Amino acid sequence: MTDSQFKENFRLNRTTYNELIRQIGPHLQREDTTFRLAIPVEKRVACALYLLGSTCELRTAANLFGIGRTTAGQILHEFCEVLVNNFFHRFIKFPTTSQEIQNTVNDFYIRCGYPMCIGSLDGTHIPIKPPTGFETDYFNYKKYHSVIMLAVVNSSLLFTYVNVGAPGRCNDSSVFSRSTLSDVIQMPIYANHYININNVKIQSHLIADSAFPLKPSVLKPYGEKPNMLRSERLFNYRLSRCRCSVERAFGSMKNRFRCLHKKLEYDINYVCTLIKATAVLHNLCVFNNDLIEIDWDIPQKVYRKPACNTQVPHTVGLREAMAVFFEQNPL
């Protein structure tokens, strides 16, 4: 294959593929037996990547690679487990030290012109075959069964936090409130990083859409209404301009690993492992500057997300102070 053909089929550059072989090869190596030769690591990784990067069935990939359908499923399962068990916490790390927080804040300000941001927060729905007896729990507002992937992305489109497995019926706000991230972001170290605008303390915080609660550690846009003030429109624009990083990361991951577009007909626990594995691979590609260049446009209906009206007292003034900052510091 040429380099372009290789990337089109396996969704990674050859250099990224070779790096992946080096990293996980020892974990996937199998010994030859008296009865048959083991499938080489390179072929196992290629088969798993082909399944993740396409919407084909197991039997299709099995025929292409000259292996059994069950073997193809086992290879995909083992590949995803190895990635998640050995590399999930190495490749997906939320900023927890003072230096990491400061670097993340600085990167967002340089790239997006938004101060004190440590991550863009959002959730996305991944279609699945629901567990028997729990179909109602996994039926979402978009009218299909899914699990929710809640994620935080930095300015480089790297996932810094990933939570997968909440039933599609849940809303993003409830998933966030029950996550470890909700507790971590309340730690004093994040409040210690702040700026003062008109005597209002703006601490390092996440930015999100209207589906999340408004609090000092999570800022979201003003609700859309007729005759919005200019300062409110300005705040919404600057926040949206910065928050689009998480939308771009979701789009890049789903565009590269197209299995996420089809209904994943696996056990629910395995589905969560598979989705986490694609997030790890996404970060590996970003680290290696392996950009996705092929667009795959799928017409989708636009649905209005359920909004969350929860807000901590005295947080509305934070958005007003930020609007003042944006007026004083235009792009």
Question: Within this chain, do residues 12 and 145 fall inside the same structural domain, yes or no?
Answer: no
Q: Do residues 225 and 123 both lie within one domain?
A: yes
Q: Examine the domain organization and report whether 80 and 184 are in the same domain.
A: no
User: Token pair 């729905």 is at which residue?
Assistant: 125
Q: Which of 71, 90, 109 is the last residue of a domain?
A: 90
Residues 250 and 136 in one domain: yes
| Domain count of the fold of the chain | 2
Q: Using an 8 Å Cβ cutoff, are 207 and 121 in contact?
A: yes
Of 90, 115, 134, the one marking the end of a domain is 90
Q: Does one domain contain both 168 and 259?
A: yes
List C-alpha distances in Å: 252 to 99, 293, 331.
28, 9, 26
CA distances from 134 to 131, 175, 264 (A): 6, 18, 16
Report how far residue 146's alpha carbon sits from residue 268's, in angstroms, rounded to the nearest whole number: 10
Nearest-10 crossing angle of helices 14-28, 41-52: 120
- 143 with 39, same domain: the answer is no
- Structure token digits, residue 181: 């991230």
Mark whether 80 and 102 lie in a shared domain: no
Q: Is the domain of 106 the same as that of 61?
A: no
142 touches 263 (CB < 8 A): no
Q: What is the pTM of this model?
A: 0.92
Last residue of a domain, one of 36, 55, 90: 90
Same domain? 56 vs 160:
no
Q: Which domain does 270 fall in, by range? A: 93-328
Are 166 and 265 part of one and the same domain? yes
125 and 268 share a domain? yes
Spell out the per-residue pLDDT of the chain, length 331, in tens: 898 899 989 999 999 999 999 989 888 888 877 777 888 999 999 999 999 999 999 999 999 999 999 999 999 999 999 999 999 999 999 999 999 999 999 999 999 999 999 999 999 999 999 999 999 999 999 999 999 999 999 999 999 999 999 999 999 999 999 999 999 999 999 999 999 988 889 999 999 998 899 999 999 998 888 888 899 999 999 999 999 999 999 999 999 999 999 999 999 999 999 999 999 999 999 999 988 754 555 555 556 666 666 666 667 788 899 999 999 988 8
Neighbours of 284 (CB within 10 A): 18
Q: Residue 143, class by beta-carbon neighbours within 10 Å (0-12 exposed, 13-18 middle, 19+ buried)?
A: exposed
Q: Are residues 60 and 128 in the same domain?
A: no
Helix axes 316-328, 230-256, angle to 10 degrees: 90
Q: In whole angstroms, give the CA distance from residue 210 to residue 187.
A: 23
